[in-house]
């Protein structure tokens, strides 16, 4: 194998390249990235500290200069892939080039779902550094921001904006923040936190429309309320970047469908990592697509291995992991959460707690806030499908021995 | 040649991806900061420890090859 081409220079693409090199690949690596950036950057900080800190792309580098140089790849920033010819083993680029590959790794990610209420000045989405820079200018003390969507992005931006003194309202038809992932009861813990931090919360309410009145935006809610805002952030999910593969023969079904080892169905020597990867479980239990940083990194490592050691190719079997920073809460979500079988350990009022989710017997997932010991125990229990009662008992005992300090 | 693992304690956010990758090298203390259980990485362990270090979301860990 002499040339591996990677499409996308975010976490999935970069970590694949890094894994190939450290695994001993001595051929050519070409990374094609449609965003015209100087250096691969990391996306999680964009909704957190980066949003209100000085404009320093160096602070959110995905990889340092030394490690980037060690990858020894040709980086083609600012060039979009526009098509794929798997029979000829060529990637088509927007500048007309047909880039030949021996193996291709697709890591084109997803983009923010655009506003159904119109676009233009004051209406934001958040996915790229350009989006973050535009939103940053709206986050001035006393300015009014309405966030539509109480998922992770919306909840994080609400926290970051409140800390900057912005007047924030969150609107979502669901009953509580992140409730789609955490379940309604657990979501309410976070609803209370946002309310206590001064966010106006309008959950269980949709948006009917947004109108411009002079320089202001008037947001009409489904219950008739009207909220005047200086800026609107639309955080209603992501859409996979797969349109460029139309006609390629790859199977696209809300993501590029792969086998359990992340090889694309319908094309030899094409692998998929990150948000665009919809892999079929080897046990026949359907397919999954994840949009997490850690999944992309894990998939990248696996694909590098599977490319270099096809005879020992492994299947992707994740333990999901997501983190979020909101106010003084470090929130960590492990495994599959959201089932109704959940138990709270500790007290959210003391800013340290855990929620253990189970299938009735075994641990399936957990949410941890400001509690490192519980995080380690939960990650282990989820990976081992440990006994839920045992984990709850253990965490309860730790709490009894060392109650969390009351944060004033 | 032995490699050495180094941690940037100020950068660490306690995500614990490293602990999942190599619990014989990394732990997290009660303040959510990484603890190096050992720092010398023999050749046979290099790939595994390097992968665990690279799984850090804030690049707080680095394996320096000797």
Choosing among B54, B59, B61, which should be mutated to test the A contact, i.e. which has the most A CBs within 10 A?
A: B54
Domain spans, chain A: 3-111+238-312, 114-234, 328-401
State whether A375 and B14 contact (CB < 8 Å): yes
Q: Does domain B3-64 have CATH number 3.30.70.20?
A: yes
The helix or strand, by DSSP H or E, that contains position A129, with its residue range, turns out to be helix A129-136
Chain B nearest-CA residue for A383? B20
Choosing among B19, B51, B56, which should be mutated to test the A contact, i.e. which has the most A CBs within 10 A?
A: B51
Fold agreement between A3-111+238-312 and A328-401 = no
- For every one of its 408 residues, what pLDDT tens digit does chain A have, with 9 covering 90 and above? 699 999 999 999 999 999 999 999 999 999 999 999 999 999 999 999 899 987 778 889 999 999 999 999 999 999 999 999 999 999 999 999 999 999 999 999 999 999 999 999 999 999 999 999 999 999 999 999 999 999 999 999 999 999 999 999 999 999 999 999 999 999 999 999 999 999 999 999 999 999 999 999 999 999 999 999 999 999 999 999 999 999 999 999 999 999 999 999 989 899 999 999 999 999 999 999 999 999 999 999 999 999 999 999 999 999 899 999 999 999 999 999 988 899 999 999 999 999 999 999 999 999 999 999 999 999 999 999 999 999 999 999 988 876 665 554
DSSP B53: H
Name A191's Cβ contacts closer than 8 Å, sequence gap at least 6: A176, A177, A201, A203
ipTM reported for the complex, 2 dp = 0.91
Does B20 reach chain A within 8 Å, measured CB to CB? Answer: yes
Helix or strand or coil: residue A338?
Answer: coil
DSSP A61: B
Does B36 reach chain A within 8 Å, measured CB to CB? Answer: no
Dihedral of the alpha carbons of A200, A205, A207, A213, in degrees to the nearest 10: -40
Residue A229's nearest CA partner among A143, A166, A107, A305 is A143
Class of domain A114-234: alpha beta
Out of B13, B19, B50, closest to residue A376 by CB: B19
Task: Answer yes or no: pTM beyond 0.90.
Answer: yes
Upper half-sphere CA count for residue A276 (Cβ side, 13 Å): 29
Q: What are phi and psi of A358, to 5 degrees?
A: -145, 170
Contacts of A383 in chain B (CB under 8 A): 20
State whether B57 and A44 contact (CB < 8 Å): yes
Fold exhibited by the domain A3-111+238-312: FAD/NAD(P)-binding domain (3.50.50)
State whether B28 and A376 contact (CB < 8 Å): yes
Task: Tell me the CA distances in angstroms from A352 to A151, A375, A407, one per residue in order.
Answer: 21, 11, 10
CB A157 within 8 A of CB A47: yes
Q: Does domain A328-401 have CATH number 3.40.50.1820?
A: no
Domain spans, chain B: 3-64
């Amino acid at each position: 194998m002499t040339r591996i081409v990677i499409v996308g220079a975010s976490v999935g693409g970069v970590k694949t390249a890094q894994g190939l090199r450290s695994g001993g690949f001595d051929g050519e690596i070409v990374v094609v990235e449609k965003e015209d950036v100087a250096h691969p950057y990391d996306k999680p900080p964009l909704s957190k500290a980066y949003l209100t800190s000085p404009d320093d792309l160096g602070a959110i580098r995905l990889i340092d200069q030394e490690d980037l140089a060690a990858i020894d790849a040709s980086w083609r920033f600012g060039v979009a892939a526009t098509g794929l010819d798997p029979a000829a083993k060529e990637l088509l680029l927007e500048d007309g080039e047909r880039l030949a590959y021996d193996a291709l790794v697709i890591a084109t990610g997803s983009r923010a779902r655009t506003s159904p209420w119109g676009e233009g000045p004051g209406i934001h989405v958040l996915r790229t550094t350009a989006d973050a820079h535009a939103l940053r200018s709206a986050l001035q003390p006393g300015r009014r921001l309405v966030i539509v969507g109480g998922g992770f992005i919306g909840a994080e931006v609400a926290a970051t904006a409140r800390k900057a003194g912005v007047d924030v309202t969150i609107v979502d038809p669901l009953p509580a923040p992140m409730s789609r992932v955490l379940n309604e009861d657990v979501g309410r813990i976070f609803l209370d936190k946002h309310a206590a931090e001064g966010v106006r919360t309008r959950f269980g309410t949709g948006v009917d429309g947004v109108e411009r009145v002079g320089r202001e935006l008037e947001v009409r809610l489904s219950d008739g309320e009207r909220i005047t805002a200086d800026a609107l952030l639309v955080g209603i999910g992501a859409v996979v970047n797969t349109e460029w593969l139309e006609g390629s023969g790859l199977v696209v079904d809300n993501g590029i469908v792969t086998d359990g080892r992340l090889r694309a169905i319908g094309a030899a020597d094409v692998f998929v990592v990150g948000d665009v990867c919809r892999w079929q479980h080897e046990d026949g239990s359907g397919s999954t697509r994840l949009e997490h940083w850690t999944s992309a990194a894990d998939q990248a490592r696996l694909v590098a291995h599977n490319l270099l050691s096809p005879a020992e190719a492994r299947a992707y079997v994740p333990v999901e992991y997501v983190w979020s920073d909101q106010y003084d809460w470090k929130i960590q979500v492990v495994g599959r959460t959201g089932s109704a079988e959940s138990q709270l350990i500790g007290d959210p009022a003391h800013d340290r707690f855990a929620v253990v989710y189970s299938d009735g017997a075994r641990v399936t997932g957990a949410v941890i806030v400001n509690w490192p010991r519980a995080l380690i125990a939960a990650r282990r229990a989820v990976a081992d499908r440990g006994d839920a009662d045992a984990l709850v008992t253990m965490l309860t005992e730790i709490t009894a021995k060392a109650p969390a300090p009351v944060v004033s | 040649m032995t490699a050495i693992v180094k941690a940037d304690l100020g950068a660490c956010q306690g995500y614990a991806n490293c602990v999942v990758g190599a619990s014989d090298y990394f732990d997290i203390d009660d303040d959510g900061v990484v603890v190096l259980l050992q720092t010398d990485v023999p050749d046979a362990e290099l790939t595994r420890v390097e992968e665990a270090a690279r799984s850090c979301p804030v690049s707080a860990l680095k394996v320096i090859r000797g």
